[in-house]
């Protein structure tokens, strides 16, 4: 059952799931002021098709005789989360991406951005002007942090309460379509971050309609959504429809499913399996592949296994362990979950196998954790060295730029882009952005604002203790988080961006780097020296990369296959603002080598 208001040319079909009521109507508050009684159509759904409905018509649903609420599947909330919903004519948009066929997973270079802080205008249209710059960098996919309607105009997006309504302050549905259309015309895919594990706390009227929540489980971010309790079919259908809505109506290429380990479902068929089945059917109908990638803290390969193997059928999964390895090696931090990491051996495992914890004891969790992912190809793992969570959940919103040296930033870029996974860059990372990315909200409920402030302080009391607390409700917090985009062409920022650009180019042009093949790969850790030696090969090329995570220069003996090894990149070169390169131009096996601290060198044969 399709839920929401569907404009069909001077008429509109309204469908809502409201099993708790014996009487439901559509109240057209603007411009006509009509009340349209709805008819039950089974399983708690109500429906009416009305004539003389124009796009822009605003409405509430009247539940019973006196409760009026916005549409749970509203396609537009022009006045925010508490105002009326609005009828949208999706067919009016003229798409120009008919030749677009998508980009395979193993070719993606993803750039995560927050619409509100990526540009001063905080709109989808403003992003379009920056696409050529991203494309010149080598980016071929942007990942938008959640854009579903949230309270006010400042929010990370994880407080959204209307999953079908595109944030009004960003430009609404039309603005998002223009952005996707422009991306596809320029050869770029679009990934959208969606939240199917909770609703935000302000403007959430779902309980007035039906059993969207369950008391069977305790939710981390409020009441747990009802995926397996009585009448859960209506909740499951709601989110299944939402996923297909983004693919069909907005031509989104991939959905990133937030915190799927908090989608609690003990049914014989997990919601993620059902979602994967529906998306596979849709992909077949459309003649091209649409992707699902999951964030999941459990490190369970069942997420990645195919549907025919009893798995959940996700195309890829975020591998946070990769980030944690790089972060701890570069910063030396050992607080919070970082206490589980900090060795070169772990990073070598992340490069070679995927998950760092494959059913080993985790000191942070005080239990055994993870599963063996070595059989799964690199394109099924999205990795990063920075993202919105790892930066924004620090008290000061500090990026790696604030925590480590310029040499360390270059080394981090190499690990990210030379590893056989799908790399994700966080906006500004490529030029060493030094504006923080802080946590910010713009709630209108004063009690909720105080609760958010108290909650963030409580979180910081156990993790990332440095610095003074920053008020998330303050507009200044949001403004401080906006990119200083002009810096990408200045000084060391420009050099770092050129290094990222060069690494991406090498990744695309050297066969040994292009194929995300774990079989043709060796990642060796020399723990005492804090070195990682990366060897990758294909039928007609091979690379050898030396990565030094030691602050000081390190000497070691190379053990290489016989070949004519030539150096093609050295981060210690003056070109990359290095101190002084010490590695030879040509390499031989069993040769004593010295590499400067916090540097890398790449050889090709």
Phi, psi of 451 (to 5 degrees): -65, -40
d(CA 78, CA 30): 12
- Nearest by Cα to 272 from 302, 246, 249: 302
- Hey, how many other C-beta atoms are within 10 angstroms of the C-beta on 283? 15
CB neighbour list of residue 546: distance below 8 Å, 6 or more residues apart: 531, 532, 533, 583, 593, 595, 600, 601, 603
CB 380 within 8 A of CB 304: yes
Cβ(146)–Cβ(157) below 8 Å: yes
Peptide bond into 31 cis (omega under 30): yes
Please classify residue 445 by burial: count the beta carbons closer than 10 Å to its beta carbon, then call 0-12 exposed, 13-18 middle and 19+ buried: middle
The pairs formed by 206-210 with CB atoms below 8 angstroms and a separation of 24 or more are 206/72, 208/20, 208/63, 208/67, 208/69, 209/16, 209/17, 209/18, 209/19, 209/20, 209/21, 209/61, 209/63, 209/69, 209/72, 210/17, 210/18, 210/19, 210/20, 210/44, 210/234
Structure tokens at 64: 């019973």
Paired tokens of 438: 């802080």
Residues pairing with 221 in the sheet: none
Q: At what angle do helices 271-286 and 232-250 cross, to 10 degrees?
A: 30
Residues tagged active-site: 258, 295
Look at the block and give the residue holding tokens 């003074």.
468
User: How far apart are alpha carbons 319 and 355 in whole angstroms?
Assistant: 7
- Burial of 367 per CB tally in 10 Å (0-12, 13-18, 19+): exposed
- Measure the CA–CA gap between 559 and 464, rounded to whole angstroms: 40
Under 8 Å between Cβ of 453 and 471: yes
* Residue in this structure with the two tokens 């770092």, named with its chain if needed: 496
DSSP state of 539: S
């Amino acid at each position: 059952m399709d839920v929401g208001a569907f404009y069909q040319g001077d008429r509109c079909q309204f469908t809502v799931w409201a099993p708790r009521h014996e009487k439901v109507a559509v109240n057209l508050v603007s411009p006509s002021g009509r009340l349209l009684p709805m008819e039950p159509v089974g399983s708690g759904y109500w429906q009416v098709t009305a004539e003389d409905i124009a796009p822009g018509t605003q409405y509430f649903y009247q539940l019973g005789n006196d409760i009026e609420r916005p549409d749970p599947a509203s396609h537009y909330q022009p006045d925010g989360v508490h105002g009326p919903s609005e009828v949208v004519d999706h067919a009016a948009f003229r798409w120009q991406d008919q030749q677009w066929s998508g980009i395979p997973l193993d070719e993606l270079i993803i750039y995560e951005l927050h619409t509100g802080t990526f540009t001063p205008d905080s709109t989808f249209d403003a992003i379009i002007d920056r696409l050529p710059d991203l494309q010149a960098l080598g980016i071929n996919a942007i990942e938008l942090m959640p854009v579903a309607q949230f309270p006010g105009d400042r929010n990370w997006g994880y407080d959204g309460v209307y999953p079908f309504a595109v944030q009004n302050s960003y430009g609404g549905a039309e603005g998002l379509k223009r952005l996707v259309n422009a991306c596809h015309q320029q050869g770029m895919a679009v990934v959208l971050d969606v939240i199917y594990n909770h609703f935000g706390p302000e403007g959430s009227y779902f309980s007035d309609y039906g059993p969207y929540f369950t008391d069977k489980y305790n939710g981390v971010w409020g009441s747990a959504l009802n995926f397996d309790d009585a009448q859960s079919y209506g909740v499951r259908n709601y989110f299944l429809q939402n996923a297909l809505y983004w693919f069909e109506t907005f031509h989104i290429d991939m959905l990133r499913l937030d915190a799927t380990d908090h989608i609690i479902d003990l049914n014989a068929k997990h919601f993620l399996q059902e979602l994967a089945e529906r998306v596979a059917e849709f992909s077949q109908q459309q003649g091209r592949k649409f992707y699902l990638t999951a964030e999941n803290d459990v490190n369970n390969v069942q997420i990645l296994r195919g549907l025919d193997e009893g798995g959940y059928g996700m195309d890829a999964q975020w591998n946070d362990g990769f980030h944690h390895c790089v972060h701890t090696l570069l910063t030396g931090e050992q607080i919070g979950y970082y206490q589980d990491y900090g060795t070169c051996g772990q990073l070598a495992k992340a490069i070679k196998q995927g998950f760092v914890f494959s059913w080993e004891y985790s000191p942070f969790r005080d239990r055994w954790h993870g599963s063996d992912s070595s059989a799964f190809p690199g394109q099924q793992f999205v990795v990063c060295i920075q993202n919105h969570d790892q930066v924004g959940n620090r008290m000061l919103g500090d990026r790696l730029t604030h925590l480590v040296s310029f040499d360390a930033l270059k080394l981090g870029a190499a690990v990210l882009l030379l590893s056989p996974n799908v790399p994700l860059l966080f906006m500004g990372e490529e030029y060493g952005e030094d504006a923080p990315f802080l946590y910010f909200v713009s709630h209108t409920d004063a009690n909720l604002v105080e609760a958010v402030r108290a909650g963030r302080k409580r979180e910081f009391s156990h993790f990332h203790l440095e610095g003074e607390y920053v008020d998330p409700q303050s507009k200044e917090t949001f403004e401080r988080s906006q990119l200083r985009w002009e810096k990408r062409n200045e000084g060391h920022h420009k050099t770092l961006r050129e290094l990222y650009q060069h690494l991406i180019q090498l990744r695309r042009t050297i066969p040994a780097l292009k194929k995300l093949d774990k079989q043709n790969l060796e990642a060796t850790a020399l723990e005492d020296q804090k070195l990682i030696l990366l060897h990758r090969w294909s039928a007609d090329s091979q690379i050898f990369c030396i990565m030094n995570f030691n602050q000081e220069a390190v000497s070691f003996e190379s053990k290489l296959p016989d070949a004519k090894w030539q150096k093609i990149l050295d981060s210690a070169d003056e070109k990359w603002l290095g101190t002084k390169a010490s590695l030879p131009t040509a390499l031989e096996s069993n040769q004593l080598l010295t590499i400067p601290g916090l540097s890398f060198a790449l050889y090709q044969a």
